[in-house]
Chain A
Amino acid sequence: MDVRAQIVMVFNLDKCIGCHTCSISCKNIWTDRKGAEYMWWNNVETKPGVGYPRQWEDQERFKGGWVVDGKKLKLKAMGKGPTLANMFFQPNMPKIEDYYEPFDFDYGNLAGAKEAKDQPVAEAFSQISGKKIEEIQGGPNWDDDLSGSQIYAAKDLNLKDKKVIESYDSMFMQYLPRICNHCLNPACVASCPSRALYKRGEDGIVLVDQEVCKGWRFCTSACPYKKVYFNWNTGKAEKCIFCYPRVETGQCNACAHSCVGRIRYVGVLLYDADAVEGAALKGDTELVEAHRDVILDPRDPEVCRLAKENGISDNWLEAAVASPVYALVKEFRIALPLHPEFRTVPMAYYIPSLSPVLSTWGDTHKLLEHGMIPALETLRVPIGYLASLLSAGNEEVIEETLKKLIAIRVQMRAENLGLPADPALLADAGLDEAAAKRLYRLFTVAGYNERNVIPPQQREEQDPQRRKQEAGFGILKKTRGGGK
């Protein structure tokens, strides 16, 4: 057993209101630069929808992630030999149109306008070519809130029954905020011929060394989540850095910090690095369980001993015990990995959203049970849809999770109204009253320090001179490289 620590984010989809505040704070800090205009290290997409970049989930097109080849994992795209042969032209790389052509508006047009009957508009121009754009063709959230659903949402690969989105009675939507998953088995790292991408041993953050990257572009398509971007100005790849300059000092990521709905939780997980490949080799339906098996219990003395042997400090172990992420992912089993079938063992987890509360009148009335809260089988969001997103198609996993979420609601609603609760409902969901209280607290009133348990890394103790030499992003003409 090789115990390592990973810093992980959990998203409570039930509370995401799709306001894009996270995307904006990320953009303002990290990607407000030439060549990075189109990049959204954090983005929020509407589901059902094609997402950003369009149809990123279609691995037959982009060839991202891993596939099981007999008893081994291999990159879906190509092996090492073909990588060398495809170096000049990378066949699976997404193009700018798959994201969108970044644009800005020419406000000079307004300021310089003469007085007239009709006022001019600020014309859009491309931030790449500088030319005027007559009709903007896309944006990072072009299909927000199901807009153009017949064109976009209908192409959602997770949506088996397209009729669902054709009628107001059955239509549903939810938001999916996405950052880099900082996977345990990152395909981007494996695909890089320059070995510029690496996973940090101490906290598991996956980074691109800007000095080593030669712009071969294999990572952009190897990442099945399309979270590695090509900067057309610097000719190198960039990706979400998990706000490491903030996280290292115990601060929360910009996206999580600015989250209006407080849907994000950041904390430490301990995992067994030796078990990762085995977990990724499991069949589709066993993948979620295999993910959970890789995660280790920080209260287990044997785990703690091995963790210390591997250099994990005491304050990291304390943080692992207090980690809201551990509670949500492993202890209460309600946070699930996004598309585990891509087999990168992603380390961002999602609590599935419940369906809308239904009216007490008309056709939908018969769906109600347990007061205002719908029964599991009749939920408006098809379980198959959630299973396709979050459990590689295993509907039992989704049912177990939703059952818990519904049971907590029924329990807390009864408590609030002073009604008798049905204890069987909680027990049936595999929870008890204390667990329901804990989760309720995490979902509702938990403060900043409960939602984000981030141990500082005391990098000042580790080779301070080198630390001071390492500079951040986008600083050209550095004197010497970081790296080893």
Chain B
Amino acid sequence: MLNSLIFIALPYAALALLLLVTPYRFLSNRLTWTAYSTQFLERKVLYWGINPWHYGILPILLAHILGFAFPGIFKPFLGNPETLLGVESVLLGLGIFAVLGVLLLLLRRVNSGMLKRVTFSSDWLILYLLLFQAGTGIYIGYFMRWGSQWYLHTAVPYLWSIVSFQPQIDYVADLPLVFKLHAACAFLIVAVLPFTKLVHMLYLPFDFLKDPPLLYRWRSK
């Protein structure tokens, strides 16, 4: 029952919300499409929170995505125990970095009076979800060793079965509870993403890298 909820109901609900709500929000209310930066109001603690968080979590997120997309490449690459140890250590370090960052971001909202009026329930929600997600991630990374390798053999085929609409939860059904919570939280984050300021991560500013510095807009041209 729990397995079906976490590994079938949740991912499909999350996917549906992401795919339907995101374009709706983009078309109907793009004025709210921003990271809602609070640097203007409080910057001292932010510096120590936001940088570790982003620089820690982005490589980890990328590793999850690349492992999902190209398992064939990473299986032999991580077959070498020394490489595996190196990758695990780096990712664990980054994970701790990220958790400390998100913890600071959370405490900062608690303590700063200036941030009261720019903090909404959705901000608390994603901060708690992200803290939980990063925390369980570290626990798994430390206590369920060689995750970067077994991830490729369990979660990745399961995720592929989800996106190809032939869900096979056998791959992940017998894993410990903490892994299931980690997966459930991941799906929750995807589900709330289009409703919160997390949408900022869906826009990657790469156009400006190739554009000329000045941008003109003509009504007539």
Contact = CB atoms under 8 A, between A and B. Distances in A.
A-B pairs, 9 with minimum CB distance: A193-B205, A190-B213, A201-B218, A215-B34, A235-B36, A235-B34, A211-B30, A129-B113, A198-B215
Interface stretch (B5-13, B37-45, B87-95, B149-157): B37-45
Nearest to B115: A129
A311 B220 contact: yes
Nearest to A186: B214
22 contacts: A75-B213, A80-B209, A83-B208, A89-B39, A89-B50, A96-B114, A130-B116, A189-B213, A189-B215, A194-B208, A200-B216, A200-B217, A201-B216, A201-B218, A201-B221, A215-B36, A216-B35, A217-B40, A230-B40, A311-B220, A477-B29, A479-B28
B121 to A, nearest CB: 17
A316 to B, nearest CB: 12
A440 interface: no
A128, A210, A484: most-surrounded residue (chain B CB, <10 A): A128
Interface of A, secondary structure class, is loop
Nearest to B35: A215
Contact of A89 (B31, B46, B203): B46
B208 A202 contact: no
B177 to A, nearest CB: 33
Given A201-B216, A202-B220, A214-B200, A476 B117 contact: no
Contacts of B54: 88
A217 B207 CA distance: 17
A117 interface: no
B41 A192 contact: no
A1 B55 CA distance: 47
Given A128-B41, A479-B28, A234 B215 contact: no
A401 interface: no
Given A88-B51, A89-B47, A189-B214, 9 more contacts: A75-B213, A87-B205, A93-B40, A198-B217, A201-B219, A210-B31, A214-B200, A215-B37, A484-B217
B118 interface: yes
Contacts of A130: 116-117
A378 B217 CA distance: 49
Interface in A455-484: 459, 462-463, 476-481, 483-484
A99 to B, nearest CB: 9
B211 interface: yes
A236 B34 contact: yes
A363 to B, nearest CB: 50
Contacts of B4: none
A192 B43 CA distance: 21
Contacts of B53: 88
Contacts of A235: 34-37, 197
B179 interface: no
Contacts of B50: 88-89
Contact of B116 (A129, A311, A481): A129
B32 interface: yes
A462 B219 CA distance: 7
Given A88-B54, A95-B40, A194-B203, A214 B33 contact: yes
Contacts of A167: none
A195 B215 contact: yes
B66 to A, nearest CB: 19
A466 to B, nearest CB: 9
B50 to A, nearest CB: 5
Contacts of B30: 211-212, 478, 481
Interface string A202-222: 100000001111111100000
B118 A213 contact: no
A90 interface: yes
Contacts of B62: none
Contact of B41 (A75, A96, A311, A479): A96
Interface string A79-111: 010011001111001011000000000000000
Contacts of A95: 39-41, 43
A84 B51 CA distance: 12
B168 to A, nearest CB: 38
B27 interface: yes
Nearest to A193: B205
Interface string A432-462: 0000000000000000000000000001001
A199 interface: yes
A235 B36 CA distance: 4
Contacts of B214: 185-186, 189-190, 199
Interface in A164-196: 185-186, 189-190, 192-195
A138 B219 CA distance: 42
B140 to A, nearest CB: 25
Interface in A19-67: none
A332 interface: no
Given A311-B220, A476-B32, A232 B205 contact: no
Contacts of B41: 95-96, 128, 232
Contacts of A210: 31
A90 B39 contact: yes
B10 to A, nearest CB: 29
A110 B113 CA distance: 26
B145 to A, nearest CB: 31
